[in-house]
Chains A and B, each alone.
Chain A
Amino acid sequence: MTIHTPPAIPSQLQSNAAAGGGFFRLLKQREYGVLALLALTLIVVGLINPAFVAGGNLKDILVAAAPAIIVGCGLTFVVLMGEIDISMGALMGVLATVMGQLTSPSHAHLPVGEGILITLALGSLVGLINGLLVAYGRMPSIIVTLGMMTVLQGVNLILINGQWITDMPAGLRWFGTGRFLAVPISIWTTILVVAASIILARETPLGHRIYASGSNPEAARLTGLPVRPIKLFVFTLTGLLTAVATVVSVPLLAVIEPGVGKGFELLAVTCVVVGGTSISGGQGNIIGTVLAALLLSVVRPTLVFLKLGPSASYWERAIQGAFILAAVLLDQVARARSRRGKAGA
């Protein structure tokens, strides 16, 4: 067994050489591909219309991307575990309604702080229930969260009862429009969530175990890892982050109505998958999700700048859907290739 490698060659170089051609390395490390596409879009549209890359517009793009990035961070961990959550859109709708009704002067009129705390707790609770059903009820997560989505949609309609909330108090509005050092609160929040998620994923034992459990659940069990509590954690985290995203994005809306959060789950799932996290678990990272969220967020302004007019939002959906199909296809190609590579080794 002559597997002694000459120590002179740095290991990083070796692994790059082993990964094969550049294109296939891109398949494996999707974040570079996404970054390249994002940069390309910004440069091309920026050349056509310099206003596109002006500070104000970029800031708007970031603010628009914030909810997808924040929730995408939590969802990345869920997908790394080999699970899925599609209840975030409906949850955001309910949380928006609850937050609005708790704080609005024409409803409960609680202090804004209390309203937000209750919103965060409620988001976590829904995530916890998802997690309990998946980890301990041993139900497939797609079914659990589909059911949860439907329940939440119904609950939202009951809560709103036809009365849109139009009088969000100024304290609540501040979470959408407020600034700290000239940077919107939602961007600060996003930076914090992303930083914490990266640390969780890369620098903590828990993150380490999330990757391991998703990579090979049976091996994780045989290693004595607490797989079910870890599952519970990732679903609860996603619920909590959905609440965080609600707090920093909904106050920007003019009114809270039953359509809030509609289709948001598709956007979040697309970000995670396009960002290179494998739908079968064990592989992926936060950066990929963040870059994919940014890429998806420049789609609409790009279409607007290209003067597609009112059909821009139809095109946006079509492009979003095409992205997710392309990403899953790339995932399959990369996996088939690595299987062949293994068989040939």
Chain B
Amino acid sequence: MNNSFLQVTNLTKSYGGVHALSGVSLDIKAGEIHSLMGENGAGKSTFIKCLAGAVRPDAGGVAVDGSTISPGDIRAAEAAGIVAMHQESTAFAHLNAVDNIFVGREMKRGPGLLDRRGMERETLALLDRLGESIDIKRPLQELSLAQRQMVGMARALSHSSRLLIMDEPTASLSARETKSLFRVMRQLQGEGVAILYISHRLEEVFELSDRVTVLRDGRHVETRPIGDVTRDELIRLMVGRELLAESRAAGSAGEGAVMLDVHGLTQPGVFHNISFNVRAGEVVGLAGLVGAGRSEVAASIFGVDKPESGTVTVGGKPLPPGSVKTAIESGIALVPEDRQHQGLVLPLTVGSNLLLSVLGSPSLGPLRSARKEGGIVGDLMKDLTVKAASSNIAANTLSGGNQQKLAIGKWLAMSPRVLILDEPTRGVDVGAKAEVYRVIRRLAAEGMATLIISSDLPEILTLSDRILVMREGALAGELSRAEADEEKILALALPREGASV
């Protein structure tokens, strides 16, 4: 197999019946920069976790120089020269560069004592090799993100690594810092180190890579030399699916009064000058990559976060920033992405969850009444077609789809005017997805102004009357229902050279 030193064969991993990876095979050549691309949820992170031994695959394996590496064993992978440079969250913030680099493989002197001088010397040598000079005595939390990255690189080098896995290393770097990182990557490449590079930034991929591999829905789609593929082809490979012909019922949307009006919403470093509106009866999709700032915008509209500037107006009335209570009183409801922790109180019963938004409201009277509450709960369960044996069973016994209906239904009891849904069908199976869609459509038909945040492009296309695309904290464009397709959305959503937050 030519000059490839590392083979990944048939890697397969499922989480609770969901295939995260299905039989992915790949080979890596010494000294190549190999980019790994795919939409959110395509299986990239599961792939690199299996490769680096952080996750044990259900089937398949990794071999270096023809010998198989024990699966799910980080140390074995590192010993074989496969080192993952994790995101910032996996560094030890309280420890200095030396300790971060050598923890777990400390250099020793005498009777099992640490050889601090030796480790410091080695650290300086590693940083020197990277052309960096960092205060090695300072805890990592006092260093800049770029400096932390360099410590991560030095750690990888200290393993005499042969494959370095880098997961979106430039996500939080400035253009200048990115250039410097690329210089170091090229230098390592020159020394024969292979790099598996994960990034959403197409320009970076074209600039750096020798080859590119596209994953989609947990499967290997294509591996090609970078010279044999164009930007548009790459996007098509990532999207893959034949465009869904599924037609949406023509709505009368766009005619209603403006219900939610967001103007100039800005949170430095997170999102910038976001302006849009949603009319009564309209479904607006908010697309973009994870980290583009969509959920943060929703949190600001709902008053969870206080934006630095900008206004949110509901039904013509401006909201004071940073007050969830007022947001709810004026009729905004937010169904958060993490329904198990933020959307529902799982150990409580179905009925209690549905009543969460109205408990204590004057309409129910001073004392709880089983009759009144039962009426509300019964109506909601019927409207939403919640499949539960009774309203008295715990919410955590329901399926994901039915839990999601509860998370929506909990708001309906207070008759909201604006409904914001963040990833409404994440982790929901196909059948339940259709039912959630039906609920959303019906609410819109009844006049609800709906904003849907989703990383699932077919979902956005299926539900939305209008689609807004966010890129790196700013609105990158707006597409009407008629003109939108996956490629156009992705073309707007992918970051461009030089554009950084």
Q: In the complex, what's the smallest C-beta–C-beta distance from B249 to chain A, in angstroms?
A: 46
User: B residues within 8 A CB of A220?
Assistant: 92, 103
Identify which of A18, A203, A205 contacts B138 (C-beta below 8 A).
A18
B368 at the interface (CB under 8 A from A): no
Q: Is B176 within 8 A of A14, CB to CB? A: no
B99 at the interface (CB under 8 A from A): yes
User: B residues within 8 A CB of A221?
Assistant: 54
Interface residues of B in 62-118 (CB under 8 A from A): 73-75, 78, 84, 86, 89-95, 99, 102-104, 106, 108, 112-114, 116
Residue of B89, B94, B95 contacting most chain A CB atoms (<10 Å)? B94
B146 at the interface (CB under 8 A from A): yes
Q: In the complex, what's the smallest C-beta–C-beta distance from B40 to chain A, in angstroms?
A: 21
Of A5-13, A246-254, A316-324, which stretch is located at the interface?
Answer: A5-13
User: A residues within 8 A CB of B78?
Assistant: 224
Once A11-B136, A15-B138 are accepted as A-B contacts, the answer to whether A208 and B114 lie under 8 Å apart by CB is yes
Q: In the complex, what's the smallest C-beta–C-beta distance from A82 to chain B, in angstroms?
A: 11
Q: Is A345 within 8 A of B144, CB to CB? A: yes
Once A3-B133, A212-B99 are accepted as A-B contacts, the answer to whether A224 and B75 lie under 8 Å apart by CB is yes
A191 at the interface (CB under 8 A from B): no
Task: A7 to B135: give the CA distance in the assembly, Å.
Answer: 10
Q: Is A5 within 8 A of B92, CB to CB? A: no
User: A residues within 8 A CB of B74?
Assistant: 222-224
Task: A282 to B132: give the CA distance in the assembly, Å.
Answer: 27
Q: Is A15 within 8 A of B142, CB to CB? A: yes
| Cβ contacts A188-226/B at 8 Å (1 or 0 each) | 000000000001001111001101100110111111110
Task: A218 to B86: give the CA distance in the assembly, Å.
Answer: 11
Q: Is A12 within 8 A of B137, CB to CB? A: yes
Interface residues of B in 127-170 (CB under 8 A from A): 132-138, 141-142, 144, 146-147, 150
Q: In the complex, what's the smallest C-beta–C-beta distance from B346 to chain A, in angstroms?
A: 19
Task: A191 to B108: give the CA distance in the assembly, Å.
Answer: 25
Q: Is B134 within 8 A of A3, CB to CB? A: yes
Identify which of B94, B106, B112, B177 contacts A283 (C-beta below 8 A).
B94
B180 at the interface (CB under 8 A from A): yes
Question: Which chain A residue shows the least CB distance to B147?
Answer: A3
Residue of B73, B84, B106, B180 contacting most chain A CB atoms (<10 Å)? B106
User: B residues within 8 A CB of A338?
Assistant: 141
Question: Which chain A residue shows the least CB distance to B114?
Answer: A203
Identify which of B92, B134, B146, B176 contacts A212 (C-beta below 8 A).
B92
Residue of A1, A14, A224 contacting most chain B CB atoms (<10 Å)? A1
Task: A203 to B114: give the CA distance in the assembly, Å.
Answer: 5
Q: Is A1 within 8 A of B113, CB to CB? A: no
Q: Is A216 within 8 A of B106, CB to CB? A: no
Once A7-B133, A338-B141, A342-B141 are accepted as A-B contacts, the answer to whether A282 and B94 lie under 8 Å apart by CB is yes
Question: Which chain B residue shows the least CB distance to A28?
Answer: B139
Task: A239 to B138: give the CA distance in the assembly, Å.
Answer: 34
Interface residues of A in 289-345 (CB under 8 A from B): 338, 341-342, 345
User: A residues within 8 A CB of B73?
Assistant: 224
Q: Is B103 within 8 A of A204, CB to CB? A: no
Question: Which chain A residue shows the least CB distance to B174?
Answer: A1
A interface size (C-beta, 8 A): 36
Identify which of A218, A341, A342 contacts B90 (C-beta below 8 A).
A218
Task: A218 to B74: give the CA distance in the assembly, Å.
Answer: 13
Q: In the complex, what's the smallest C-beta–C-beta distance from A216 to chain B, in angstroms?
A: 5
Q: Is B89 within 8 A of A205, CB to CB? A: no
Residue of B78, B90, B103, B181 contacting most chain A CB atoms (<10 Å)? B103
Task: A222 to B99: give the CA distance in the assembly, Å.
Answer: 15
Once A205-B112, A218-B89 are accepted as A-B contacts, the answer to whether A211 and B138 lie under 8 Å apart by CB is no
User: B residues within 8 A CB of A4?
Assistant: 132-133
Identify which of B92, B112, B137, B147 contacts A219 (C-beta below 8 A).
B92
Q: Is A216 within 8 A of B90, CB to CB? A: yes
User: A residues within 8 A CB of B90?
Assistant: 216, 218-219, 222-223
Once A11-B138, A215-B92, A216-B90 are accepted as A-B contacts, the answer to whether A208 and B103 lie under 8 Å apart by CB is yes
Question: Which chain A residue shows the least CB distance to B78?
Answer: A224
User: B residues within 8 A CB of A219?
Assistant: 86, 89-92
Question: Which chain A residue shows the least CB distance to B107?
Answer: A205
User: B residues within 8 A CB of A283?
Assistant: 94
Q: Is A5 within 8 A of B135, CB to CB? A: yes
Residue of A204, A208, A218 contacting most chain B CB atoms (<10 Å)? A208
Question: Which chain B residue shows the least CB distance to A7?
Answer: B133
Question: Which chain A residue shows the least CB distance to B176?
Answer: A1
Q: In the complex, what's the smallest C-beta–C-beta distance from A138 to chain B, in angstroms?
A: 19
Task: A317 to B356: give the CA distance in the assembly, Å.
Answer: 44
Q: In the complex, what's the smallest C-beta–C-beta distance from B268 to chain A, in angstroms?
A: 10
Q: Is B146 within 8 A of A1, CB to CB? A: yes
| Cβ contacts A24-59/B at 8 Å (1 or 0 each) | 000000000000000000000000000000000000
Q: In the complex, what's the smallest C-beta–C-beta distance from A233 to chain B, in angstroms?
A: 14
User: B residues within 8 A CB of A7?
Assistant: 133
User: B residues within 8 A CB of A282?
Assistant: 92-95
Question: Which chain B residue shows the least CB distance to A214?
Answer: B94
User: A residues within 8 A CB of B114?
Assistant: 202-205, 208
Once A1-B176, A216-B93 are accepted as A-B contacts, the answer to whether A208 and B86 lie under 8 Å apart by CB is no
Task: A46 to B214: give the CA distance in the assembly, Å.
Answer: 76
Q: Is A225 within 8 A of B104, CB to CB? A: yes
Identify which of B113, B147, B176 contacts A203 (C-beta below 8 A).
B113
Once A15-B138, A204-B114 are accepted as A-B contacts, the answer to whether A223 and B93 lie under 8 Å apart by CB is no
User: A residues within 8 A CB of B86?
Assistant: 219, 222
User: B residues within 8 A CB of A222?
Assistant: 54, 74, 84, 86, 90
User: B residues within 8 A CB of A209?
Assistant: 103-104
Identify which of B94, B104, B146 contacts A223 (C-beta below 8 A).
B104
Question: Which chain A residue shows the least CB distance to B137?
Answer: A11
Q: Is B95 within 8 A of A212, CB to CB? A: yes
Task: A12 to B120: give the CA distance in the assembly, Å.
Answer: 14
Q: In the complex, what's the smallest C-beta–C-beta distance from B100 to chain A, in angstroms?
A: 8
Identify which of B92, B134, B142 contacts A216 (C-beta below 8 A).
B92
Q: In the complex, what's the smallest C-beta–C-beta distance from B142 to chain A, in angstroms?
A: 6
Residue of A205, A223, A342 contacting most chain B CB atoms (<10 Å)? A223
Q: Is A208 within 8 A of B99, CB to CB? A: yes
User: A residues within 8 A CB of B89?
Assistant: 216, 218-219
Interface residues of B in 263-295 (CB under 8 A from A): none
User: B residues within 8 A CB of A218?
Assistant: 89-90
User: B residues within 8 A CB of A204?
Assistant: 112-114
Shortest 3 CB-CB contacts between residues of A and residues of B: A224-B74, A1-B180, A205-B106
In the complex, 11 of the A-B residue pairs with CB atoms within 8 angstroms, ordered by the A residue number, are: A1-B176, A3-B146, A5-B135, A203-B113, A205-B114, A212-B95, A216-B92, A220-B92, A223-B90, A224-B78, A341-B142
Extra 13 A-B pairs, beta carbons < 8 Å, given A3-B132, A15-B142, A341-B142: A1-B176, A1-B177, A5-B134, A18-B138, A203-B114, A203-B116, A208-B106, A211-B95, A212-B95, A212-B103, A219-B90, A223-B104, A282-B92
Q: Which residues of B contact A (CB under 8 A)?
A: 53-54, 73-75, 78, 84, 86, 89-95, 99, 102-104, 106, 108, 112-114, 116, 132-138, 141-142, 144, 146-147, 150, 176-177, 179-181
